[in-house]
Structure 1
Amino acid sequence: MNKKELYAQSGVAMTCRSFKEYEEMFELDVASLAKKSILDIAAGASSFTSELNQRGCNAIAADPLYRLSTEEIYILGEEEMRIASQKLSKNENLFVWDYYQDLENHEQIRKKSLFQFIASYKNDNSKTMYVPANLPRLPFEKDVFSSVFCNHFLFLYEAQFDYTFHLKAMKELIRVTQRDGSIYIYPLVGFNDEVYSHLKELIQEVEKNGASVEMIETAFRFLPSATHFLKITK
Structure 2
Amino acid sequence: MNNKELYAQQGVAMTCRSFEEYQSMFMLDKATLAKGKILDIAAGASSFTAECIHRGYDAMACDPLYKLNSEQIYEFGQQQLLIASEKLSSKKEAFVWNYYHDIQQHDDIREHSLDKFIESYKNDMDREVYVNAMLPNLPFQDDMFSCVICNHFLFLYQEQFDYSFHLAAIKEMIRVTKKGGIILLYPLVGFKDELYPHLDNLQQELSQMCVNVSIRTTEFRFLPSADGMLAILK
User: Which TM-score bucket, shorter chain as reference?
Assistant: over 0.9
**Are 2:57 and 1:57 equivalent residues in the alignment?**
yes
Separation (CA, whole Å) in 2 of partners of 1:32 and 1:189: 25
Residue 61 of structure 2 is aligned to residue 42 of structure 1 = no
1:113 equivalenced with 2:129 (yes/no): no
Q: 5+ unaligned residues in a row in structure 2: which ranges? A: none
Kindly indicate whether the alpha-carbon contact (under 8 Å) linking 1:211 and 1:232 is maintained by their aligned counterparts in 2.
yes
1:32 Cα deviation from its structure 2 partner: 3.5
Distance 1:192 1:221 in 2: 15
State the alpha-carbon separation in 2 of the partners of residues 30 and 114 from structure 1: 24
Percent identity of paired positions between Structure 1 and Structure 2? 59
Structure 1 range deviating more: 23-32 or 105-114: 23-32
Deviation digits for residues 82-138 of structure 1 (CA, Å, limit 9, x no counterpart): 000000111000000000000010000000000000000011110000000000000
Partners of 1:158 and 1:98 in 2: CA distance: 25
Task: After the TM superposition, list the runs of 4 or more consecutive aligned residues in structure 1 that deviate by more than 2 angstroms.
Answer: none
Structure 1 position 35, deviation (Å)? 5.7
Q: Distance in 1 between matches of 2:2 and 2:223?
A: 15
For residue 30 of structure 1, report the CA deviation from its aligned partner.
2.6
Q: Which moved more, 1:27-36 or 1:132-141?
A: 27-36
Q: Under a length normalisation based on structure 2, what TM-score does the superposition of the two structures give?
A: 0.98
| Cα shift at 1:2 | 5.6
The number of aligned residues is 234
Once the 2 structures are TM-superposed, how far is the Cα of residue 58 of structure 1 from its aligned partner?
Answer: 1.4
Does residue 169 (structure 1) correspond to residue 172 (structure 2)? The answer is no
Shift of 1:28: 1.2
1:135 aligns with 2:135: yes
CA distance in 1, matches of 2:72, 2:164: 32
* 8 Å contact kept, 1:34–1:55: no
Q: CA deviation at 1:218?
A: 1.0
Measured in 2, the distance between the counterparts of 1:166 and 1:33 equals 25
Query: How far off is 1:66 after superposition?
Result: 0.2
1:13 aligns to what? 13
Question: Which aligned pairs between 1:62-141 and structure 2 lie closer than 5 A?
Answer: 62-141=62-141
Uncovered stretches (5+) of structure 1, i.e. residues with no partner: none
In 1, distance between residues paired with 2:23 and 2:64? 24
- Find the residue that maps to 2:148 and give its secondary structure: strand
User: Could you tell me how far apart the structure 2 residues matched to 1:61 and 1:208 are?
Assistant: 28
SS across alignment from 2:193 = coil
Native 8 Å contact 1:35 1:58 kept in 2: no
Residue 221 of structure 2 is matched in structure 1 by: 221
1:8 CA drift (Å): 0.3
| In structure 1, C-alpha distance between the alignment counterparts of 2:72 and 2:208, rounded to whole Å | 42
- Report the RMSD for the aligned CA atoms in angstroms: 1.0
Asked if 2 retains the 8 angstrom alpha-carbon contact of 1:96 and 1:222, the reply is yes
Instruction: Kindly indicate whether the alpha-carbon contact (under 8 Å) linking 1:142 and 1:176 is maintained by their aligned counterparts in 2.
Output: yes
Task: Answer yes or no: is the 8 Å Cα contact 2:39–2:147 preserved in 1.
Answer: yes
Tell me, in whole angstroms, the C-alpha distance in 2 between the residues paired with 1:140 and 1:105: 36
Matched residue type, 2:93: N
C-alpha offsets along residues 171-209 of structure 1, whole Å, 9 cap, x if unaligned?
000000000100000000000000111111111111011
The answer to whether the Cα contact below 8 Å between 1:23 and 1:30 also exists between their aligned partners in 2 is no
2:35–2:146 CA contact under 8 A, matched in 1: no
